[in-house]
Amino acid sequence: MTRLTLFVAPYACPRVPTAALEEVGVPFETIVVGIDAGEHKSPEFQKLNPKGKVPCLLVNDEPLTENVAILSWLHRRFPDAGLLPATDCELEKMRQVADLAFCAGGLHPIVTRIRMSHRFVEDPSLALQVRKKGIDAMRPNADMINDRLAGSNWWYADKWSVIDAYLHWIWFRMTGAGFPAGDYPHWQAHYERTSNYPSVQKMLAREVQWQAELESRGAAYPP
């Protein structure tokens, strides 16, 4: 049996592959990395991922990094789990990869500027400007996503996918930092639906344990 170990941090984007693994339903282990404590810079973790970031998935002790790659591998390894819609069309498969890349490469960096704006300036008084720029940059993307979700429960109409898990995390992170949730009611409703989806609920339950573990180590991660 394939051994799967996922390195994670609370409230961060490893939420997405954790939900995916819960959806697959195979046994897996999570190892919590204390980001604020600098554990991602430790020699042990750097050997696994020199980029010093989570998530990092060990597949029989072989590391795989980046959400697009991890989620794509899980979908190919466990096709019956339906992490992405089944299709024989190669172009449609690449459109699904494009959707993953949109979340990871298009939306995620903007979320960081909204949520972690202080990391982009030396003068703390300028952080609000960075956040505002991030919110402004997110708005056209949020308009498109809100419109797409207006007539369906999920990103791919009537079928939950890992894209929904990614959008759930993005919404959580940016609305928690002042992004105007009320302007995007369909995305808000999608967030509430996704919060009640079984694999997401299992992921959230794990996250409580991750944070408790970090607290016991004096390395708690702020929400």
Instruction: Assign residue 175 the CATH number of its domain.
Output: 1.20.1050.10
Residue 223 lies in a domain: no
Percent of the chain with pLDDT over 90: 96
| 99 and 187, same domain (yes or no) | yes
pLDDT in tens, 37-68: 999 999 999 999 999 999 999 999 999 999 99
Residue 107 lies in a domain: yes
What is the number of structural domains in the chain?
Answer: 2
Q: Assign residue 27 a region (left: φ > 0; alpha: ψ between -120 and 50; beta: otherwise).
A: beta
pTM above 0.95, yes or no: yes
On whether the CB atoms of residues 183 and 145 are closer than 8 A, the answer is no
| pLDDT surpasses 80 at 197 | yes
Describe the strand order of the beta sheet including 29-32 as a list of residue ranges: 29-32, 4-8, 56-59, 62-65
| 112 and 123, same domain (yes or no) | yes
| 74 and 96, same domain (yes or no) | no
pLDDT band at 220 (very low <50, low <70, confident <90, very high): confident
| 95 and 192, same domain (yes or no) | yes
| 103 and 128, same domain (yes or no) | yes
pLDDT in tens, 68-93: 999 999 999 999 999 999 999 999 99
Q: Write down the mean pLDDT value for the chain.
A: 97
Residue 221 lies in a domain: no
**Domain harbouring 73, CATH code:** 3.40.30.10
Q: Which domain holds residue 203?
A: 4-82+199-216
Please enumerate in sequence order all residues whose Cβ is within 8 A of that of 215, keeping only pairs 6 or more positions apart, or say none.
none
